[in-house]
Structure 1
Amino acid sequence: MKKVDPQNYKIEKSIHLEDFDTYDNLDADEDKLKKKLDKVRGKLGKFQDVMYAHGKYSVLVCLQGMDTAGKDSLIREVFKEFNSRGVVVHSFKNPTAIELKHDYLWRHYIALPERGKLAVFNRTHYENVLVTRVHPEYILNENIPSIKSLDDVNESFWHQRYDEINNFENTINNNGTIIFKFFLHLSKKEQKSRLLRRLELKEKNWKFSPADMKERALWDSYQECYEKAINQTSTPHAPWYIIPADDKDAARLIVAEILYKELKKYKDIEEPELDEEIKQHLDQYKKQLQTE
């Protein structure tokens, strides 16, 4: 099995999505991939326990990808060994009426993880430069004073949004949030296969929506918007990782390995020492409990 090197997936310069493979099974079969993932997610779970006790950092995992890219199942499998008190998942749908009364980053700000915890954003603040860029008419729902018509939703507007997102991520990183951004890079052929599966298997029918077909027809537009967003917002403190997503088992393992290997670089994350006075009286406390 090939080793996962985070640097092979991290984006540190301008890219073209078409240059990146959508399939990689790490030279391993399904059984080997699952066994390796089981080991890595166990290590991640133990690390999260230490981070929770340490209480100075938080982790934000951002997942983006086309419909059927495997975001939901990746969350289920990668974070299976986490203590429930230390991880929370947010799935961002269309903005509610209340959310539209605020700026577009507000609902993401209030969902950020507390120190010691990890949050997964299943679809993220990047929807505001992806879906809205493919469908610029959605911007009019935000009632932004400077936007009078679609003519105002121009290239300058999008560059301003990229700057705002970069500033948002810079601010939370400066205050202790470690940021990972994963783009699950799916091929159009594999999406077709997964959509057909939703139609053919009764137990999967509920996942299908006619809207999936409408968005699939805009595949090229979405790929262009993803490419622009990644190029404008992959920074040293909040890098993008492009994950080949046609093989779900491999994609899950790659994400888990990147998380673990990058988080282990934070050598200051360790269990806090007990207060010296408490240490001196540990035997007394044990004796007290044993003689109850």
Structure 2
Amino acid sequence: MLGIIGIVTVFATVFGGYLLAGGHMDIILHALPFEGLMIGGAALGAFLIANSGAGAKHTAKDISKVFKGSHWKPQDYQDLLCLLFELIRLARQNPVALEEHIEGPDSSEIFSRYPKIQKDHEAIELICDTLRSMTLSYDDPLQVEEVLDKRMEASLTHALHSSHAMQTVADGMPALGIVAAVLGVIKTMASIDQPPEILGALIGGALVGTFMGVFLAYGFVGPFAAKMQMVVQEDAHFYKLIREVLIANLHNHPANMCIEVGRQNTPHHVRPSYGELEEAMRALKREAA
């Protein structure tokens, strides 16, 4: 919703101010299709040159994050803590029984209680791979922490590709606007023998190219890139929470303490309250009994 409000605000204030100042839309509307074709087409072509097919698809998909916001909501963080609590309790009570869940998370009764998390391959693989390493006696907290840090850093770098690609386009659009404007000036010079009113319209049309390049770069593409980056970094907290809880588990803290460590390291705006989480874990214990 905020993304749509922002787009409307940009259009309303820029063009509204222009009209209130006595400007006319005729020249802009006449030049817009041609200047837009040159700038938009060149920006798209440069984007395709600079990215692979997978990167281009990834960026196109991630544009929706500007409007949808973070994938993980406050309830998801509570569900994740409950999921980890169940797995840690089971690992300590019956390590053999844990294997069927981490080897087949798609059919696991525990994972199926949290369908949104179950569908996220990165979260599931992070949990299962770490718990599996513990069953293989790879349980040095410092080594596991280092492995998790490198893994999450690589995942974050990959997830940020879309925002970096969009920012590169934003950085180049003002220059592409100048290219379109120069072409408009060249066209104007070919009509230098025309009366002033015609030359004025031609020069105005050429300047629309500069305007479009700057307007699109700083009014839309740049902010889109910034929002995509912010959403990716926000979602990264979800995976960091997995790391915090599983590392605490390797230090052999009680299961409740491991979950509290994770809760305390959750960003405030998505952090479940102590009472809510405690009640949720009590319900899980009653259900297991």
TM-score range, shorter chain: under 0.3
Higher Cα Rg, which structure:
2
More helix by share: 2
Higher RCO (Cα < 8 Å, 6 or more apart): 1
TM-score (norm: length of structure 1): 0.25
TM-score (norm: length of structure 2): 0.25
